[in-house]
């Protein structure tokens, strides 16, 4: 459970991409030891937020501090040292396709430690056991289902026992069983290893079920934040539409267009 | 109308210059990673195998046929001047100085360069490079540098094999088909092909081509848009740009190295 202090502090963050404002001054606190979810409709820059926390993007203004360090001011060497203490699970899994499951999980260990191969083997098997795929260690990534690939990527992300793990849309495109497995794993791994977890997702029910705290983003701003219960009870109309998956509401069903009747009667128009 | 055309030409030129600048910066970031490969020779051996050894079949077959055709063509001209016994050195010089490095580099661009660009481009499109960065592993050192080293090692060796096979192909046609004396073929070749003037210059060319073709391939892959269209474009650009670079550089190098002989 969260001990109260913040591992990640985001203040007044602004970020634009190709002239389009993605974040327009957002403040977010990720508490240590907890599971914090960042939610919002597609295209609100949730993945970009993870890239900003990981130092893969630079903010236009504002600050992103991880474990007390201003990410955008770190030298390359310092940034890489920080990343060794961060794990990230990409939406696609992003396994290295020319390496087997075993070698994928062993990859960060071989790159960053000088451990003997026997110890690397034991560590890899422990991580694979945690995600239930010890038996799949000799398979190549192409032979894995989407859910299995994500679990292998999860084993790889926790290989170096990071202080924080970031999940980018971990539930998208998963069948109910894979989804259940991932939901259980994310919470269990967070609690068992005493980590801090950040989940970026728009899968409301799964995410709300395991998150301690939620941030809702829309149009570059934090619309609402609180525990799942607080948001369900006291959220705005937009929040309730989002959390309950209602087709119409403050976010309209129709993309802006001229009056339908007028357009149908428009003479001489072919499209 | 004229203003618009000039504007378009200007934009086209600026874009090309910007890409050239980016590719130079890219190389500047990759080169410091090369010495680190001495500590991990396995990575370079793996890439030299994938890039060089797997390109052997096409290089050997092409070399054989180029050598055989060269012997046939040259014989028809030389016999008019009664110089057919000099076929050996002429075939060898053509191959070692010119055709060996150039044709091998063109084949290399098509076979290995396109594969490198597609591989790195797909790694980018499937977030493998991003995930490496997030694992605090620099893809420029772990992925690009070993491939650059593998290409630079492979191309001169492939060129040497191409020339050797070509000379042998020429020998087969000259002695088996055209009735040239086999001793004359070899002895005249030994007497007229100079180790430094000819062989070393061929090697210099192939090293330069190795650097340029592999550089273009890894840059195009790394710089590709992370979509299937972007990867396709990177592959095409690799083959087109590196082929043109090889032919252009060949003229410059030939003029520099052999220009004062004529």
- What mean pLDDT do residues A35-60 have? 87
For chain A, say whether B130 makes contact (Cβ under 8 Å): yes
Q: Is B142 on the interface with A (CB under 8 A)?
A: yes
Q: Are B235 and B216 in contact (CB under 8 A)?
A: no
- Interchain contact, B131 vs A90, CB within 8 Å: yes
B257 φ, ψ to 5°? Answer: -90, -35
For residue A190, report the phi and psi dihedrals to the nearest 5 degrees. Answer: -60, -45
Of A178, A198, A215, A183, the closest CA to residue A89 belongs to A198
| Half-sphere exposure of residue B139: CA atoms within 13 angstroms, side-chain side | 20
Sign of CA dihedral A58, A62, A67, A70: positive
Q: How far is A257 from chain B (nearest CA, A)?
A: 31
* Structural contact between residues B194 and B91, judged by C-beta atoms closer than 8 angstroms: no
pLDDT of A1: 43
pLDDT at A231 over 50: yes
User: In terms of C-beta distances under 8 Å and separation of at least 24 residues, what long-range contacts does B45-50 make, across chains too?
Assistant: B46/B146, B46/B150, B47/B146, B47/B147, B47/B149, B47/B150, B47/B151, B48/B149, B48/B150, B48/B153, B48/B154, B50/B115, B50/B150
Angle at B128 between CA B132 and CA A98, to 5 degrees: 105
Q: To the nearest whole angstrom, how far is the Cα of A215 from the nearest Cα of chain B?
A: 23
Residue whose tokens read 């060129």? B159
Residue A216 three-state SS: strand
User: pLDDT tier at A2 (50, 70, 90 boundaries)?
Assistant: very low
**3 state SS of B213:** helix
What average pLDDT does the segment B209-228 reach?
94
Nearest residue to B66 via CA among B155, B173, B151: B173
Among the listed residues A69, A7, A64, the one whose alpha carbon sits nearest the alpha carbon of residue A196 = A7
Tell me the C-alpha distance between B90 and B79, whole Å: 13
Q: How far apart are the CA of B109 and the nearest CA of chain A, in angstroms?
A: 22
Check residues B72 and A239 and name the one with the higher pLDDT.
B72
Instruction: Please tell me the distance from the alpha carbon of residue A158 to that of residue A162, in angstroms, as a whole number.
Output: 6
- The span from the CA of B74 to the CA of B22, in Å, is 45
pLDDT above 80 for A253? no
- pLDDT (tens digit, 9 = 90+) per residue, B73-122? 999 888 888 887 888 889 999 999 889 999 999 999 999 999 999 999 99
List chain B residues with CB under 8 Å of A87.
134
Structure tokens, B5: 């055309």
Please state the φ and ψ torsions of residue A258, each to the nearest 5 degrees. Answer: -65, 165
Write out pLDDT tens, residues A56-92: 888 888 899 999 889 889 898 899 999 999 999 988 8
pLDDT at B15 over 50: yes
CB contact under 8 A, B133 and A86: no
Q: What is the pLDDT of residue A20?
A: 83
pLDDT at A252: 65
Of B131, B136, B137, the CB nearest to A94: B131
pLDDT at B260: 65
> Which chain A residue lies closest to B40 (C-alpha atoms)?
A111
pTM for the structure as a whole: 0.85
d(CA B105, CA B156): 9
Tokens of B139: 């893809």
Q: Which residue of A has its CA nearest to B123?
A: A96
From B126, which residue of chain A is nearest by alpha-carbon distance?
Answer: A94
Confidence of residue B143 (pLDDT cuts 50, 70, 90): very high
Nearest to A224 by CA among A232, A251, A4: A232
Task: Give how far A82 is from chain B: nearest CA, Å.
Answer: 8
Of B131, B133, B137, the CB nearest to A111: B137
Rounded Cα–Cα distance for residues A125 and B126 (Å): 26
* C-alpha to C-alpha distances, A87 to A82, A154, B49, B254, nearest whole angstrom: 10, 8, 33, 53
pLDDT per residue over A171-226, tens digit each? 887 788 888 888 888 888 898 888 999 999 888 888 888 889 989 888 888 888 88
Q: Give the least confident one: A116-130, A202-216, B95-109, B130-144.
A: A202-216
pLDDT over 90 (residue B62): yes
- Which candidate from B123, B134, B137 shows the least CB-CB separation from A88? B134
Beta carbons of A77 and B136 less than 8 angstroms apart = no
Q: How many Cα atoms sit within 13 Å of A197 on the Cβ side?
A: 32
Nearest-CA neighbor of A216 among A198, A229, A205, A201? A201
Report the distance separating Cα B97 and Cα B92, nearest Å.
8
The closest of A74, A105, A168 to B127, measured between CA atoms, is: A168
Mutation test of the interface with chain B: which of A55, A66, A111, choosing the one with the most B Cβ atoms within 10 A?
Answer: A111
Contacts of B235 (CB under 8 A, 6+ apart): B114, B117, B118, B121, B220
ipTM above 0.85, yes or no: no
Q: Which residues in B lie closer than 8 A to residue A96 (C-beta atoms)?
A: 128, 131-132
Per-residue confidence band for B196, with pLDDT thresholds at 50, 70 and 90: confident
């Amino acid at each position: 459970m969260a001990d109260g202090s913040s591992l990640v502090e985001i203040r007044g963050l602004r970020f634009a991409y190709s002239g389009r404002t993605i974040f327009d001054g957002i403040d977010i606190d990720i508490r240590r030891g907890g599971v914090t979810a960042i939610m919002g409709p597609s295209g609100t820059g949730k993945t970009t937020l993870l890239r900003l926390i990981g130092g893969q993007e630079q903010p236009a203004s504002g600050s992103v501090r991880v474990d007390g360090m201003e990410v955008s001011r770190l030298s390359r060497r310092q940034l890489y040292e920080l990343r060794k203490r961060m794990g990230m699970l990409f939406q696609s899994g992003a396994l290295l396709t020319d390496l087997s499951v075993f070698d994928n999980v062993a990859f960060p260990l071989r790159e960053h430690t000088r451990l003997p191969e026997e110890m690397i083997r034991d560590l890899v098997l422990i991580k694979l056991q945690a995600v239930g795929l010890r038996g799949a260690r000799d398979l190549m990534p192409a032979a894995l289902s989407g859910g299995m690939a994500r679990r292998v990527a999860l084993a790889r992300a926790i290989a170096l026992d990071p202080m924080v793990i970031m999940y980018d849309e971990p539930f998208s495109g998963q069948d109910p069983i894979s989804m259940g497995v991932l939901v259980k794993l994310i919470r269990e791994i967070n609690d068992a290893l005493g980590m801090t977890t950040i989940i970026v997702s728009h899968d409301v029910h799964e995410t709300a079920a395991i998150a301690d705290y939620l941030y809702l983003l829309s149009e570059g701003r934090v619309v609402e934040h609180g525990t799942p219960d607080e948001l369900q009870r006291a959220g705005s109309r937009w929040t309730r539409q989002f959390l309950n998956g209602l087709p119409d509401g403050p976010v309209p069903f129709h993309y802006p267009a001229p009056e339908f009747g007028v357009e149908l009667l428009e003479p001489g128009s072919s499209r | 109308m004229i203003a618009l055309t000039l504007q378009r030409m200007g934009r086209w030129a600026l874009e090309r210059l910007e890409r050239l600048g980016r590719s130079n910066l890219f190389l500047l970031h990759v080169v410091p990673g090369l010495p680190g490969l001495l500590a991990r020779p396995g990575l370079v051996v793996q890439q030299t195998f994938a890039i060089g050894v797997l390109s052997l079949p096409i290089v050997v077959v092409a070399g054989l046929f180029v050598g055989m055709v060269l012997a046939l063509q040259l014989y028809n001209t030389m016999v008019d001047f009664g110089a057919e016994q000099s076929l050996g050195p002429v075939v060898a010089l053509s191959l070692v100085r010119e055709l060996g490095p150039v044709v091998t580099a063109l084949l290399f661009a098509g076979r290995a360069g396109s594969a490198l660009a597609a591989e790195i481009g797909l790694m980018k499109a499937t977030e493998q490079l991003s995930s490496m960065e997030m694992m605090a592993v620099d893809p420029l050192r772990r992925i690009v540098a070993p491939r650059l080293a593998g290409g630079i090692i492979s191309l001169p060796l492939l060129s040497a094999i191409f020339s050797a096979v070509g000379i042998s192909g020429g020998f087969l046609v000259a002695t088996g088909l055209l009735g040239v004396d086999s001793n004359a073929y070899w002895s005249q070749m030994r007497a007229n092909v100079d180790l430094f003037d000819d062989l070393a210059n061929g090697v210099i060319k192939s090293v330069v081509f190795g650097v340029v073709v592999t550089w273009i391939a890894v840059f195009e892959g790394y710089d590709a848009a992370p979509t299937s269209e972007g990867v396709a474009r990177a592959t095409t650009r690799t083959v087109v740009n590196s082929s043109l670079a090889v032919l252009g550089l060949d003229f410059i190098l030939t003029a520099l190295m052999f220009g004062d002989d004529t």
